[in-house]
Amino acid sequence: MKKRRIILLLTVTILVAISTGLYYAFELISTGVAYKAKTLCSGVFVSRRSPESVLNSDLAVNSHPVLRHIDVKADRITQTSMASFLGLIDRSATFQPGFGCTLAFAGYEHRLPAPSNTDTTAHDTEPGAWLENPEAVKAAVNVDHGRLDAALDWAFSEPDAERPRHTRAVVVVHKGHIIAERYAPSFDKSTPLLGWSMTKSVMNALVGILVEQGRLSLTDPVHIPEWKESGDGRNTITLNHLLQMSSGLDFNEDDSDPLADVVHMLFREPDMATYAASKKLVANPGSRWRYSSGTTNIVSAIVRRAIGDSDYFLFPRRALFEPLGMDSAVIEPDSGGTFVGSSYMYATARDWAKFGQLYLQDGIWQGQRMLPEGWVRYSTTPAPQAVNHEYGAHFWLKLPDEYVSADYAGRLPEDAFHAIGHEAQFVSVIPSHELVVVRLGLSRYVSTWQHDKFLSKVLEAVKDGVSSTMN
């Protein structure tokens, strides 16, 4: 009898292990198929790169072995990419002009906005501010161009072939002038690149515009239908809680885990905001800081409800991108038609720099106030729940540890703040030096990109006020 129980227990244990392994494998493969379809679509039709370039870099560099067994192709006629694992798991993503690429889900075919005729080709609408004659720029600002060139040499160098940085674009703006700019081969000033979580900071700007218009309030509980009668405290969450990442909602942000909420949301869910809003409350709103991409997609849905679908899909362009001359900028929606405000904005390095310049100028552009007075101060004030004062309202105030070098820790000016994205995307704003620094790349090993070291090298080249503001 005892022997039978042992055999039964072993059998059950083995079956559970096999079932768990199969489930994990299915989730991993399904996510990989979706990731590959989405990445190829956006790379080809938004960034306007060749399929070979995307396949040989974005989908090959240090990629998980499972991706090697997923076939993928792009159809330029239908502007669709298709990925398949042995014909068993298939996914596709479709491009729409003005809205980028979206993964397809059954039952969501008609929820996307109508195709836009918006031209998203990169233009330079402010030649006086951005395209000065290089000699005039050198004469106008106090910059050591030898040191600046050395800083860019460092940014594009590859000291460890096994753990490459893969810097793709750097733009440095000082006092409203581009003083340094460089691109990796096959990339240039007209290539829109993915900002990943830098998109969160753009959502901050869109919320600010709506607050200025009186269409949103930071302090009133937000309107989420699922929360209204929940009785669990979620109906007390405010927009301020969401912007400061202190909603108290459960969310696993570990992007290295294929079963994590952030991975599942981005590649397995047709309606990302609804998925994020369904999460349980694990802390009282306003009592705990926890970084969450799901939070920002809830904000995106709140923005959609505040505006209404008739204006929502063109709102980012009309309210923010066009006034700034960010002609290349695109925020991609999910299958439910809500912008993926957590992760999916593409723009050229120059356009990302314009966004940073808006915040450097306290929300004023060409003499016109675009963001509410005090909004930049609010955005860069540490969230009370962030114990290390590292985060404000959808902006980082200190660099995450993985981007900090021991030799340069604590050397950045105290007023620096950053939009930061996955794989070391950065828009860094340093008001005391009138600097905006953009770095875009594909750093799968994020520790290879020491952003404090790079910024320190740039600051050494910009002489104005360095000695008085450096720690």
Burial degree of 98 (CB within 10 A; 0-12, 13-18, 19+): middle
- Low-confidence residues of the chain: pLDDT under 70: 1-4, 7-13, 15-24, 61-64, 66, 113-141, 464-471
Answer yes or no: are the C-beta atoms of 191 and 465 closer than 8 Å.
Answer: no
pLDDT at 399: 96
- Give bridge partners of residue 93 from the DSSP assignment: 81, 103
- Please report the pLDDT score of residue 259 as a whole number: 87
**Three-class SS of residue 443?**
coil
Q: Return the pLDDT at 171.
A: 98
pLDDT at 258: 83
Helix-then-strand count for the chain, H and E: 18, 14
Q: Please give the pLDDT value at position 110.
A: 72
Which amino acid is located at 174 in the chain? Answer: H
Q: Decide if 309 contacts 81 (C-beta within 8 A).
A: no
Q: Name the token pair of 471.
A: 């720690």
